[in-house]
Amino acid sequence: MAGARLISYLSGYILRYFLFKSSISENIEKRVEVSTPVSSWKRVTEGVHLYRQGVSPYSGDVFHESPLSLLLYEIVTRYIVDWVSLLFVLCDLLTAFFLGAAARKCGKNLAEKESNSSKFVAESSTILLQDSDVGKVALIVETVYLLCPFSILACVGRSTSVFTNLLLSLSFFCMVYGFSTITAVILALATYQSFYPVMLVVPTFISAFENKKTTKERVYAALLILLIFVSTLTSLLIISFKVVGSWDFLWSTYGTIVSVPDLTPNVGLFWYFFTEMFDHFRIFFLWTFQINAFIYMLPLSVRLRKEYTLLVIILLALTAVFKSYPSVADTALYLSLLPLWKHLFPYMRQTFIVGCIILSCTVLAPVLWFLWIYPGSANANFYFGITLAYNTAQIFLITDLLFAYIKRDYILHHGKKTEVDGKPVQLELR
């Protein structure tokens, strides 16, 4: 197991290292699937240059990162500019490590929970999780992230989503190990960086409730987490104000994410729709699109209140679909966590279709982009059609995973019988 793990990390490192050294890295950095207006390294270097010249990087429409990130990037580009590529690689390796460690703990928790449950029927004993699978799951999670083409592209393309993924993986690691207060601090950092991780506060509440027996203890834990999260985020914003001397950064960072003024094409759903939208309808549909990213959080939290790790994966997947400026880095993060729930795979019905769609979209997206931008033999409809299929496949994957969870849960509690009280059983995803 240790040898296989070492091979995975070496393979991930070598792939990234040689791609960075090759001429293809510059082309990858320009890809709209990898770099977005809020995660482009080219925009970071332009913002840092403006900052060094005494010009506010938030006065234009170039830089959309947070002020503390600006300071960090200024230090990086000043002192270790020749080692920037290595920094991205190390962050990716650390992300894989935290995901693997979290998966190992999750696997143990899930196996222990199922072995101690007295509510399962006898015939379901053959599908219960075993401790022997825990190490394998952790290795698979690490390997998937390290060798996933999406995570490799994001790293080689110098997408700052690599740093966001590192924060999210660290928050998931702390959440699983029961460090709720530390999780709240890290989630505040991730929210400060990219806004949408605020949704993960809910599974943090649920994870903190796991060992609390009374309502009073749960309320106290929730209030403590909320207080730490809000105070940390507020402190970061105040420090940011002190750094840049104004609140202009709020509109350039979070305002850009919410209002979507830059309609540069990406793998999301916003850019094409709002390019075609009449201005007097824009606000209404903007709210509709943004609410869509958050509206599923509450019902999913109620339904998955006993499985917060699955809730985290689903919320990350929904974010990758419905955020305003998504990239393949967002998809890579939740795809690498799917093996944690590989015991649901036998109950999924659309894995082949989803896999084929994602693979075909990955291959065809650069082709249709080239046909649209360079020879002009295609148009925006072609590229948007691919991104629409790509996001549809992700929705199919989310619903299929949820249905598989419900089906397995039913078998654990009721067995494989197809009738209850003489009536055929029909499982529904509600």
Residues forming a β-bridge with 424: 419
Q: Quote the mean pLDDT of the chain.
A: 90
- Cα atoms in the 13 Å half-sphere on the side-chain side of 344: 23
Give every CB contact of residue 35 below 8 A, 6+ residues apart in sequence: 29, 41, 42, 157, 158, 159, 327
The residue type at 5: R
Q: How many residues does the chain have?
A: 430
pLDDT at 429 over 60: no
Q: What is the pLDDT of residues 123-181, one digit of tens each?
A: 666 677 777 767 788 899 999 999 999 999 999 999 999 999 999 999 999 999 989 99
Using a pLDDT cut of 70, give the percent of the chain over it. 93
The residue type at 248: D
Per-residue pLDDT, 212: 78
Residue 6 CB neighbour total at 10 angstroms: 10
Element (H, E) at 237: helix 215-244
Per-residue pLDDT, 128: 74
pLDDT category, 428, cuts 50, 70, 90?
low
Q: Read off the pLDDT of each residue in 55-79 and give the average, rounded to a whole number.
A: 91
Per-residue pLDDT, 218: 87
What sign does the dihedral 319-321-327-332 (CA atoms) show?
Answer: positive
Q: Read off the pLDDT of each residue in 85-94 and give the average, rounded to a whole number.
A: 95
Q: What is the pLDDT of residues 198-235, one digit of tens each?
A: 999 999 999 988 877 788 888 899 999 999 999 999 99
pLDDT at 422 over 60: no
For the whole model, what pTM was predicted?
0.93
Task: Please work out, in degrees rounded to the nearest 5, the angle formed at the alpha carbon of residue 56 by the alpha carbons of 265 and 155.
Answer: 45
pLDDT at 118 over 90: no
**Which of 385, 379, 377 has its CA nearest to residue 360?**
385
pLDDT at 89 over 60: yes
The residue type at 67: P
Distance from C-alpha of 269 to C-alpha of 279, rounded to nearest angstrom:
17
